Structure 1
Amino acid sequence: MASKGLQDLKQQVEKATQEVVTATGAAAQQVVDQATEIGQKAMDQVSKSTQETMDKTANQASEAFSGFGRKLGLQK
């Protein structure tokens, strides 16, 4: 009879352990998903900022060359 009680206790401990492992795995996956999302947002922002800087620089260079061309009389 005592071995039946021990067997039941063992099964309860195993079930509880499995539930903890499952919950921990789910929590870890949420952390990974959130970190991935944050990283993606950061990369999107860097990409956008870089593109804006490149566009601004290209416009400034174009204006500078146009001004230079006018000074040399190549453009009107």
Structure 2
Amino acid sequence: MSSKSFQGLKQQAEGAAKDAANTLGQATQDAINQVVETSQKAIDQACKTAQDGVEKATGQATEAMAGLGKNFGFKK
């Protein structure tokens, strides 16, 4: 095998290795982006659920206080 053809094979192998590394890097980045997006959606949903719970509890506490005030004659 001549030195020239060996050099050509070496360059092809290096190019293929670089392409594979780039493909792997892009696939890894895509997977990370998907995990981040999914995590953000889960966090957003948890926050909304917590906020809804706080609003419901606040409404119930307000109603309870209003009822208590009526029982003691503070409100009509």
TM-score (norm 1): 0.96
In the alignment, which residue of structure 2 is the partner of 1:39? 39
Query: By how many angstroms is 1:53 displaced?
Result: 0.2
Written as runs of structure 1 = structure 2, the 5 A alignment for 1:23-38 is: 23-38=23-38
In structure 1, how many angstroms separate the alpha carbons of the residues matched to 2:73 and 2:15? 86
**Identity percentage of aligned residues:** 41
In the alignment, which residue of structure 2 is the partner of 1:66? 66
- Summarize deviations over 1:24-51 as a string: whole Å, max 9, x none: 0100010010001001100110110011
- Root-mean-square deviation (Å): 0.8
In structure 2, how many angstroms separate the alpha carbons of the residues matched to 1:32 and 1:75? 58
TM-score (norm 2): 0.96
In the alignment, which residue of structure 1 is the partner of 2:19? 19
Show structure 2 runs of 5+ residues with no match: none
Partner amino acid for 2:35? A
In structure 2, how many angstroms separate the alpha carbons of the residues matched to 1:58 and 1:75? 19
In structure 1, how many angstroms separate the alpha carbons of the residues matched to 2:75 and 2:39? 47
Show structure 1 runs of 5+ residues with no match: none
Partner amino acid for 2:14? E
State the number of aligned residues: 76
Query: By how many angstroms is 1:5 displaced?
Result: 1.3
